[in-house]
């Protein structure tokens, strides 16, 4: 039984990973493929897996959304996004509320749904999906003018908390007919969410900065536990838990910490896996035979969102902030619906609300149409509106971006008796194209200036022109064990071929730059360069 489950999980993940690469080639967002794989495995598909447990799906997807929200904040480059934060936050707060209000009115008067049903449907669909937007922009290597990429990143990464708050409010109206003091509820949700988010961020940053608290290598595990605890406590206190984990991620992701690149890479991979899981479950929960009955309503809702609610909201909120018409139109078109909307629909269905329509399948189809049609046309719309930056890189907006540079750092230790002792930096015969930039002395860092005099024990830090080895040029590691044929011989006695060179010998804690007279000892580690 267990082997069958493991086999199924592994096959699903492999299919999703392979489909993502295929999706880039044909220009279709990979998230659609994840849905279809779930549909193929579901009750109406060839595998006929019977799955309709909305309560269990809510639990799984909600936990996945915690880390997706955390990673959305953690991977946002604050320095790059800072000039556009006001516009983005306006869209993710007032924008979500305004979108829900306009959609509610349109669904009631144009479609004929009751106010309560219209509000629930509008709340569920009020937020946009960061994964959908940026999977398309990244796959097409598009960066957008006027900080539009950063606006979309912060908006789509931070508008789920407001949509979730509206969804819970709508569920409360439909299940009990009461909302209590709505403004007080919103105030508590936002206030507690903000306080808990920053409190956990500060505490986590403090613990991560202390080397004597965490064992090396456990940083990621600590952050996972802290993010879950932040969500749980914020939720227990009545706060907006998704807002808390987003703010925690935003603060930590823009703070200095050890192994930050590795942590970012881990969460990128984790959220990719969670997105596969969520979209697969969404597909698994769907019943394609039930979809024809909801097509009319779904098309009407996507039309309202695409051509009425979202455009009106962006024009109202962004024109007063001096955004151009072209930028407003592009931001409006990029308001893709995705995983969070469907997860909120699952929350509503599992709460037991009584509706005159199939909420899950309507939201499923709206999200599918949004990703497939709006998403597929997003690159074309961006170009037609002349909003694409030439020779730009969308990855700059994320914390995992690393600028490509053509130099590398090198350290040269000034040992006792070195001829460089007593010389000024400007008197040194440095390699062509290199530059001395720093002196490490007695635990302090000094800027390397021409007048600085080198002392014994100094570490001179230089930048040198980068070299990228040819395909057949390699550096290999050779361990000299007991009885090795090279042990107790000099490099000259060993006699390496003309295209091989020992560039370093590691002996215990020492790193030795050798010459022909250097003797190789047992337990040495030799780094050998081999050219073509």
Q: Is the separation of the CB atoms in 123 and 98 below 8 Å?
A: no
Residues 379 and 506 in one domain: no
Q: Which CATH number fits the domain that encloses residue 155?
A: 1.20.1530.20
Range of the domain at 216: 2-397
Report the candidate in 514, 512, 451, 429 with the shortest Cα–Cα distance to residue 439. Answer: 451
Parallel, antiparallel, or unpaired: how do β-strands 435-441 and 459-465 relate?
A: antiparallel
Do 144 and 229 belong together in one domain?
Answer: yes
pLDDT attached to residue 196: 95
* Beta carbons of 31 and 134 less than 8 angstroms apart: no
Burial class of residue 132 (count of CB atoms within 10 Å of its CB; 0-12, 13-18, 19+): buried
Q: Say if CB 198 and CB 245 are below 8 A apart.
A: no
Residues 254 and 320 reside in one and the same domain? yes
Strand stretches in 332-488, DSSP E: 407-413, 435-441, 444-447, 459-465, 474-479
CATH number of the domain residue 490 falls in:
3.30.70.1450
Residues 82 and 144 in one domain: yes
Both 270 and 314 in one domain: the answer is: yes
Q: How many CB atoms lie within 10 A of CB 467?
A: 9
Same domain for 447 and 518: no
The predicted pLDDT at position 91 comes to 93
The pLDDT score that the predictor gives to residue 249 is 92
Which of 397, 429, 457 terminates a domain? The answer is 397
Report CA 407 to chain centroid distance, whole Å: 28
Helices 54-74, 148-158: inter-axial angle, 10-degree rounding:
140
Tell which residue, 57, 482, 88, 432, has the closest CA to residue 281.
57
Q: Which two tokens stand for residue 8?
A: 């199924």
CA distance 300 to 241: 32
- In total, how many domains does the chain have? 3
Q: Which of 490, 495, 494, 496 is nearest to 515 (CA)?
A: 490
381, 419: one domain: no
Count the residues in the chain: 532
pLDDT number for residue 143: 75
Strand stretches in 143-207, DSSP E: none
* Cα angle value 175/176/178 (rounded, 5°): 125
Where is the domain boundary, 397, 416, 431? 397
Alpha-carbon separation of residue 471 from 476, 485, 506 (angstroms): 14, 29, 25
Closest CA to 127 of 90, 160, 171: 160
Confidence at residue 175, expressed as pLDDT on a 0 to 100 scale = 82
- Quick one: 302 and 437 in the same domain? no
Q: What is the CA radius of gyration of the chain?
A: 29
Give yes or no: residues 338 and 414 share one domain: no
pLDDT at 347: 92
CB atoms within 10 A of CB 484: 16
Are 434 and 487 members of one domain?
A: no
- Whether residue 340 sits in one domain with residue 387: yes
Q: Domain ends where: 381, 397, 413?
A: 397
User: How far is 153 from 231, CA to CA, in rounded Å?
Assistant: 22
How far apart CA 464 and CA 334 sit, in angstroms, is: 43
Spatial distance between the Cα atoms of 201 and 203, rounded to a whole number of angstroms:
6
The verdict on 370 and 427 lying in the same domain is no
Q: Report the C-alpha gap between 320 and 314 in whole angstroms.
A: 10
pLDDT by position in tens, the chain (length 532): 677 667 766 776 777 677 666 665 555 566 777 888 888 887 777 777 788 888 888 898 889 889 988 988 888 878 777 888 899 999 999 999 999 999 999 999 999 999 999 999 999 999 988 767 767 777 667 778 888 888 888 888 888 888 988 998 899 888 876 655 667 777 888 899 999 999 999 999 988 887 677 776 788 899 999 999 999 999 999 888 989 999 999 999 888 776 777 788 888 888 888 888 888 888 888 888 888 999 999 999 999 999 999 999 999 999 999 899 999 999 999 888 888 898 899 999 998 898 999 999 999 999 888 888 888 888 889 889 998 877 655 555 555 544 445 567 778 888 888 888 888 888 888 777 778 888 888 888 888 888 888 888 888 888 887 666 666 677 778 888 888 888 889 988 888 888 888 888 888 877 888 888 889 998 888 888 887 6
Characterize 322-358 residue by residue with b for buried, 16 or more Cβ atoms within 10 angstroms of its Cβ, and e for exposed. ebeebbbbbbbbbbbbbbbbbbbbbbbbbbebebeeb
**What are the E-state strand segments in 261-360?**
none
């Amino acid at each position: 039984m267990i082997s069958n489950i493991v086999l199924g999980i592994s096959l699903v993940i492999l299919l999703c990973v392979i489909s993502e690469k295929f999706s880039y080639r044909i220009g279709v967002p990979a998230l659609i493929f994840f849905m279809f794989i779930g549909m193929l495995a579901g009750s109406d598909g060839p595998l006929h897996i019977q799955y309709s447990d909305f309560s269990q799906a809510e639990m799984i997807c909600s936990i996945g959304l915690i880390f997706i929200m955390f990673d959305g904040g953690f991977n946002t480059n604050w320095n790059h996004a800072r000039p556009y934060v006001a516009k983005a936050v306006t869209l993710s707060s007032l924008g979500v509320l305004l979108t829900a209000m306009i959609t509610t009115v349109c669904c009631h008067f144009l479609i004929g749904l009751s106010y309560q049903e219209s509000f629930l449907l509008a709340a569920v669909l009020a937020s946009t999906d960061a994964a959908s937007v940026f999977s398309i922009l990244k796959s097409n290597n598009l960066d957008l003018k006027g900080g539009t990429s950063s606006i979309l990143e912060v908006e789509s990464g931070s508008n789920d908390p407001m949509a979730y708050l509206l969804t819970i409010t709508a569920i409360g109206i439909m299940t009990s007919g009461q909302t209590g003091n709505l403004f007080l509820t919103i105030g508590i949700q936002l206030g507690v969410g903000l306080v808990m988010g920053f409190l956990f961020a500060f505490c986590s940053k403090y613990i991560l900065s202390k080397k004597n608290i965490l064992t090396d290598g456990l940083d990621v595990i600590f952050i996972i536990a802290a993010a879950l605890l932040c969500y749980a406590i914020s939720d227990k206190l009545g706060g907006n838990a998704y807002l808390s984990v987003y703010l925690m991620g935003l603060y930590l992701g823009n703070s200095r910490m050890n192994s930050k690149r590795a942590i970012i890479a881990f969460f990128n991979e984790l959220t990719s896996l969670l997105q596969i899981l969520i979209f697969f479950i969404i597909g698994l929960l769907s019943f394609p035979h039930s979809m024809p009955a909801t097509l009319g309503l779904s098309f009407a809702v996507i039309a309202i969102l695409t051509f009425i609610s979202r455009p009106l909201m962006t024009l109202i909120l962004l024109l007063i902030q001096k955004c151009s018409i072209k930028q407003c139109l592009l931001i409006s078109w990029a308001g893709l619906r995705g995983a969070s909307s469907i997860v909120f629909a699952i929350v509503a269905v599992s709460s037991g609300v009584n509706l005159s329509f199939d909420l899950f399948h309507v939201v499923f189809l709206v999200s599918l149409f949004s990703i497939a049609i709006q998403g597929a046309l997003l690159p074309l719309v961006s170009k037609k509106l002349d909003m694409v930056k030439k020779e730009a890189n969308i990855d700059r907006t994320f914390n995992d971006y690393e600028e490509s540079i053509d130099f590398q750092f090198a350290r040269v230790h000034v040992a006792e008796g070195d001829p460089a002792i007593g010389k000024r930096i400007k008197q040194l015969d440095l390699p062509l194209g290199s530059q001395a930039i720093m002196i490490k002395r007695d635990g302090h860092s000094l800027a390397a200036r021409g007048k600085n005099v080198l002392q014994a024990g100094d570490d001179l830090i230089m930048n040198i022109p980068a070299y990228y080895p040819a395909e057949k040029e390699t550096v290999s590691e050779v361990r000299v064990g007991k009885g090795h044929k090279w042990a107790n011989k000099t490099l000259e006695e060993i006699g390496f071929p003309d295209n091989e060179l020992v560039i370093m010998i590691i002996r215990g804690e020492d790193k030795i730059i050798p010459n022909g007279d250097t003797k190789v000892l047992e337990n040495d580690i030799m780094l050998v360069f081999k050219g073509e």
